[in-house]
Amino acid sequence: MNNLKKPSKIYIIRPNIKLQAAESHISLGLMNGFLELNIDCQIISGIKFLPRKRKNILIIDDLANYKSEKDIKNISKISKEGAVVALWVHWPLQNSKYFDLHNLLIRKYLNLFEIIYGEREVESMMDFQKITKRKYYLIPNASPNLLQKEDLKEKEFNTKDSFDIVFVGSKMESKAFIFKKVLPLLKKENPNLKIGLFGRGFNKRVRIANAIIKISNKFVAPFSLNLNNFVTNKMAKLNEVITKEREINLYRNSKICINYHEDTPKHIIYNLRYFKIPFFGGFQIVDSPLKKSPYFTNQEVFHIDSNDEKEWVKKINYFLRNPLERYRIQIKGNQKAIKFHSYKKRAKQFVRIYSEIINKRN
């Protein structure tokens, strides 16, 4: 890192940072990763909050932030002033009310962004690279750091945090295989199994709080930032599914942590929990977005490449009966995650890319 040219400051553009959403967690993780590298980093809700001096800064933006051609004009001006701008691209494009604008930006204005990146695996970005003739930088998800011991207010072990099977995440239709097929069959074969489910979809309070934050940011913020901050701070406390302390304890103290990715075409992503579960010390059983994971082997995280619920139940039952084998995988996964899959590591990837761009300019 000593030979790299670092930005004087990094700005991450993330409206609605207090929402319980993957984008919020990723932005906060990256910010903390940059801070660990002693690089000043700040999350702001829009480019209008950037300072007047834009040279030697890195801006990390998101395609979803572009709602009008005025936004494109604004980033064009900022780019010409010397800032390096990274754009988080979602591909293929969602058929939303901004589809035409985003399609225009990608096909005509992509030159405004010197870094095109995302957490999608390159296999699902081939069409994008072919159409745009631009390099796509894969910046995978990662795990936020553990809390310091003095910050862990809850006991490391508590029976309420100990399950045979635990799932932390959103209850989504694209994950119905787990909820409608695997878990019911598992429970049928093991009636006394203790299963814990935590996340949006299991908790109406979180959905309501998230909705209020969105409404406040849209309708209250333009008239009163103080009132908007008051509302969002109150709702931020309500929309927390579980505390970070408890999430760590759930992963560490439960026998098996189930993870399952969205079952949608061309959505090849290794999600946050894929890295977080082993980083926090849990044993993970997960599906296989790719035939072979580039991040963990089956000796570190156990993958199941099958859509047969009987195969899943068979493997889960096997590991429930073999605690020593679970423990061996758990230890190796934890060591690998800490060494290679923190947000500090992902932040270093950004700095290396930034340094290459600055060197080419000079």
Count CB-CB contacts under 10 A for residue 109. Answer: 17
Q: Taking a C-beta distance cutoff of 8 angstroms, is the pair 258, 115 a contact?
A: no
Domain boundaries, the chain: 9-142+342-361, 149-203+241-340
Question: Residue 345: its pLDDT value, please?
Answer: 97
Taking alpha carbons only, the member of 261, 269, 24 closest to residue 138 is 269
Supply the pTM of this predicted model.
Answer: 0.88
Q: What is the pLDDT of residue 153?
A: 52
Angle between helices 204-215 and 225-238 (to 10 degrees): 170
- How many other CB atoms sit within 10 Å of the CB of residue 120? 23
Q: Domain 149-203+241-340, what architecture?
A: 3-Layer(aba) Sandwich (3.40)
CATH topology of domain 9-142+342-361: Rossmann fold (3.40.50)
Give the strand order in the sheet containing 41-44: 41-44, 9-13, 57-62, 84-88, 115-118, 137-138
SS (H, E, C) the chain: CCCCCCCCEEEEECCCCCCCCHHHHHHHHHHHHHHHCCCCEEEECCHHHCCCCCCCEEEEEEHHHCCCHHHHHHHHHHHHCCCEEEEECCCCCCCCCCHHHHHHHHHHCHHHCCEEEECECHHHCHHHHHHHCCCCEECCCCECCCCCHHHCCCCCCCHHHCCCEEEECCCCHHHHHHHHHHHHHHHHHCCCCCEEEECECCEHHHHHHHHHHHHHHHHHCCCCHHHHHHHHHHHHHHCCCCCHHHHHHHHHHCCEEEECCCCCCCCCECCHHHHHHHHCCCCEEEECCCCCCCCCCCCCCEEECCCCHHHHHHHHHHHHHCHHHHHHHHHHHHHHHHHHCEHHHHHHHHHHHHHHHHHHHC
Which pLDDT tens digits describe the chain residue by residue (362 residues)?
Answer: 667 899 999 999 999 888 778 899 999 999 999 999 999 999 999 998 998 878 889 999 999 999 999 999 999 999 989 899 999 998 888 888 999 999 999 999 999 999 999 999 999 999 999 999 999 999 999 999 887 655 555 455 566 889 999 999 888 888 899 999 999 999 999 999 999 998 776 666 666 777 787 787 777 777 777 777 777 776 666 666 678 888 999 999 999 999 999 877 678 999 999 999 999 999 999 999 999 999 999 999 999 999 999 999 999 999 999 999 999 999 999 999 999 999 999 999 999 999 999 998 87
Rounded Cα–Cα distance for residues 10 and 216 (Å): 27
pLDDT of residue 277: 97
On the question of a common fold for 9-142+342-361 and 149-203+241-340, the answer reads yes
> Cα Rg for the chain, rounded, in angstroms?
21
CB 184 within 8 A of CB 191: no
